[in-house]
Amino acid sequence: MSCYINLLLALSNIVSLPLIYKLYKTEKYIDALFVSGSTLASILQHLSDVKHSQIGFWPFRTFAYGFLNFDRLMCIVTALYLLPRVPLSLKETNVGTYFCFGIIMMILSEKWFGPQKQMLEFLLCHSTWHFCAYKVLHLLCSSKKGIPNHRTYH
């Protein structure tokens, strides 16, 4: 059963594909690279996950802790890259709402439910975390603040 959880969590990253496509079509290639990198890191981490008493998929599980650190690194680097775009007044956007709800879902999935206890709840909470994280990325990448599109320099 745990290998299905790995697979379903990896597949829950599909919610990032419309954003990656939109960024590519609007020629925001750097943004698309960061979101794609974060998506790839999350997929690889979930396919290899052994930290939650899961078995991971071979050959990915051989590199489980490397992929876990890659996932964490991409999360941090992407957050730092997009930090200048966080609106000063979070009341004007849904960034704060999605961010806080997503963090709550991640904490619930990691600390409270944990797949060794309640796999369905873990899957639902962690998939919701993925949705919220990509929604925040979507809102920040759509923001007018921050680093402009490369075409504005022409």
Tell me how crowded residue 25 is: count the other CB atoms within 10 A of its CB.
Answer: 9
* Rounded Cα distance, 85 and 78, in Å: 12
Portion of the chain with pLDDT greater than 70, in percent: 82
Residues 6+ apart with CB under 8 A from 57: 3, 6, 7, 47, 48
Contact 82, 141 (CB under 8 A): yes
Instruction: Give the residue numbers spanning the domain of 71.
Output: 2-153
Q: Which of 145, 154, 148 is CA-nearest to residue 28?
A: 148
Portion of the chain with pLDDT greater than 90, in percent: 42
What average pLDDT score do residues 39-61 get? Answer: 82
DSSP percent split of the chain into helix, strand, coil, nearest 5: 80, 0, 20
What are the pLDDT digits (tens) for 99-150?
989 999 988 887 766 556 677 888 899 899 999 999 999 988 887 654 444 4
Give phi and psi for 79, each to the nearest 5.
-60, -45
What are the pLDDT digits (tens) for 58-75?
887 788 888 999 999 999
* Rounded Cα distance, 10 and 81, in Å: 24
**How many domains does the chain fold into?**
1
Confidence at residue 149, expressed as pLDDT on a 0 to 100 scale: 45
